[in-house]
Structure 1
Amino acid sequence: MTGNNFAYFSLEPDIVTNYLGANARKLGYVRVTIELMLEDVEYLEAAEHHSPLLRAITIEIIGRQTEERVKSLTGREDIRRACLENMRQVMKKETGHEMIKDVIFTKYLYQG
C-alpha cells in the first residue's frame, strides 16, 4: 500500500430518506450528500461496484434515528461515525479491505 494516495468517491445521487418523527404520524426526512475518503486510489473501482450496498447501509442507519439525533450536531456526528464503521465492516467482509478512511457529509439537510 502506498502512503497518502487517498481518493474520494461520491455516493450519487444524494441520499434522501425518512427518519422517525416526534410522534408516530409524523416522519421527517434527511437529504445527505456523501463523499467517501478511500485509503487508496486503487479502491475506487470496488467502491463504485459496492456503492448500492454502501447507500443501503446509510439509508438503514438514518432511518433508525430519532428526530432529536438527526437535528443535533452530536447526533449528526454519531450518525456519520456509524456509517463509517458499518461501511468498513461490510467492505472488509466483501473485499478483504476496510478501504474507507472517512465518511464526509458535504451537505446535510433535514425537514420535519
Structure 2
Amino acid sequence: MKSVLLIGMLFCFFAMPTSLHAQEQPTGPQYAYVGLEPDIVTNYAGDNSKKLGYVRVTIEMMVLDPSKIVDVEHHMPLLRATAIEVFGAQPEDKIRSLTGREDIRRMVLQKFKDIMKRETGEDVIENIIFTKYLRQGG
C-alpha cells in the first residue's frame, strides 16, 4: 500500500511541472520590433519649386513572428528605398500635417506589407511606427 502511495506521489510530482510549463506557453502571436536603420533622410519639394525641404524619419516595424526578423533584415535595402520613394513623392502640406503624416505611415505600411508578401510569400510586417519625425524647410 505504501509503495502505491509513494508511486502515486512521485507521478504527481513529476507530472506537475510539465502541466505548469504547458500553461505558461503563450498562445497568441509573438511580436518583435525591427528598426529600419539608418534613419530615412530625404528631400521633398516645397510649395516653391526652387525651395526643397527635408524630412528625417525613424521607422520601427512590428514583425508578426520573431523568426521572420532575418527575412526583414535581408530585404532592408528594398524597404529603405521604398520608404525614401514614398516620402520623396509627398507634397509639403502632407509632410507638415498630422493627418498627412498618418496617411504617409499607412502608405508606407501597405507598401512594406506588399513587398514582404511578394518576396517571402507570407505576411511578415504587422505595423510600423514613426518614432522620430523631423521636418525642415519647404
- Using the size of structure 1 for normalisation, the TM-score is 0.96
The whole-number CA distance in structure 2 between the counterparts of 1:27 and 1:40 is 39
Q: What is the identity, as a one-letter code, of the residue corresponding to 2:127?
A: D
Equivalent in 66, 72, 78 of residue 53 of structure 1: 78
In the TM superposition, structure 1's runs of 4+ consecutive aligned residues that sit over 4 Å from their partners are none
Q: What is the identity, as a one-letter code, of the residue corresponding to 1:91?
A: M
Residue 91 of structure 2 corresponds to residue 66 of structure 1: yes
Q: What is the identity, as a one-letter code, of the residue corresponding to 2:92?
A: E
Equivalent in 34, 50, 73 of residue 59 of structure 2: 34
1:2-37 per-residue CA deviation (whole Å, 9 max, x = no partner) reads 622001000111110011111110110000001000
The whole-number CA distance in structure 2 between the counterparts of 1:64 and 1:25 is 16
The count of residues paired between Structure 1 and Structure 2 equals 111
Larger Cα-atom Rg: 2
Matching residue of 2:122: 97
Deviation at 1:103, TM superposition (A): 0.7
Matching residue of 1:81: 106
User: Any idea what SS the aligned residue of 2:30 has?
Assistant: coil
Q: What stretches of structure 1 of length at least 5 have no aligned partner? A: none
Matching residue of 1:10: 35
Q: Which 10-residue stretch deviates more, 69-78 or 16-25? A: 16-25
* Percent identical residues: 59
- Using the size of structure 2 for normalisation, the TM-score is 0.78
The whole-number CA distance in structure 1 between the counterparts of 2:33 and 2:113 is 15
Q: What is the identity, as a one-letter code, of the residue corresponding to 1:6?
A: Y
The whole-number CA distance in structure 1 between the counterparts of 2:28 and 2:54 is 39
Q: What stretches of structure 2 of length at least 5 have no aligned partner? A: 1-26
Larger helix share, 1 or 2: 2
Larger strand share, 1 or 2: 1
User: Any idea what SS the aligned residue of 2:90 has?
Assistant: coil
Q: Which has the higher contact order (CA 8 A, sep 6+)?
A: 1
